Amino acid sequence: MKEDIKTARTLDCLGLYCPEPLFQTRENIDQINPGEILEVITDDPAAEEDLKRFAKRTGHEIVSFEKNDTQMRFLIKRTE
């Protein structure tokens, strides 16, 4: 996993399932400043589509997405 990107906040959603990772991502992205990056770690299979759709709809940028057998890691840059 990339470690060279500085994150403002890390959101651990392991063990949480739809729609909780999406709700918590929405709450947490509002608590960081524009230009900062939120790290989201989840093992919810629905989160991949949910968070990608959320970022596209809200204009935030997914600067990194990594997936392995058990979990996913999103780095989402707040744009507004």
Percent of the chain exceeding pLDDT 70 equals: 96
Residues that are catalytic: 18
Note the pLDDT of residue 5.
Answer: 84
Asked if residues 80 and 34 have their Cβ atoms less than 8 Å apart, the reply is: yes
Question: Which domains are seen in the chain, by residue range?
Answer: 9-77 (3.30.110.40)
CA-based nearest residue to 7, from 68, 63, 72: 63
Note the pLDDT of residue 80.
Answer: 78
Q: Is 48 helix (H, G, I), strand (E, B) or coil?
A: helix
Q: What whole-number distance in Å separates Cα of residue 10 and Cα of residue 61?
A: 16
Confidence of residue 3 (pLDDT cuts 50, 70, 90): low
pLDDT tens figures, 17-54: 999 999 999 999 999 999 999 999 999 999 999 999 99
- Give the pTM: 0.92
